[in-house]
Amino acid sequence: MVIGLLRLRLHLPAAHSLKDRRAVVRRAVERVRARYNVAVAEVGDQERWQVATLAVSAISTERGHVNEVLDKVTAAVASAVAGAALVSGRELAFVVYPDDEALPGGSEMDDASGLMEKFGGSEEG
């Protein structure tokens, strides 16, 4: 499992109020959510008029696929904010977990039959 985390910093020189800023950020977030199967959120600088920080995460079995998706997300954000903002910073990080490794802070994977009993389903379908 490969987890990719992208942090984008936006500079909004034309924003003269938080309302202007929110409109630009909302447009970028909505475009990314509509086109890509990723998690996206505004994570910082929420009270500054001319700066915004977005975080995007993607998970796949291959690092190349995660990198490709996050590159496309960067382009989509740049396109969505064109004329109103600039992507002024981009950070990218990857975490790779082997399939048989426990996740940090987590516990061993629950037995599926126990979960089925707990929630009233059956394993057969």
Distance of CA 114 to the CA centre of its chain: 32
Roughly how many angstroms between the first and final C-alpha of the chain, as a whole number? 26
**CA separation for the pair 65, 14 (Å, rounded):** 35
Q: What is the pLDDT of residue 111?
A: 57
User: What pLDDT is recorded for position 125?
Assistant: 47
pLDDT for position 2: 96
Mean pLDDT (10-residue bins), the chain, 125 residues: 96 91 93 95 87 96 96 95 92 92 70 60 53
The reported pLDDT for the residue numbered 46 is 81
**pTM for this entry:** 0.79
Domains of the chain as residue ranges with CATH: 2-98 (3.30.70.1120)
Return d(Cα 42, Cα 91) in angstroms, integer: 15
CA angle in degrees (0–180, nearest 5) for 35-39-45 = 110
Question: Residue 75: its pLDDT value, please?
Answer: 96
Alpha helices (runs of H) in the chain, residue ranges in sequence order: 18-35, 63-80, 112-119
Q: What is the Cα–Cα distance from 41 to 59, expressed in whole angstroms?
A: 16
Dist CA 98 CA 14 (whole Å):
45
Give pLDDT, residue 107: 65
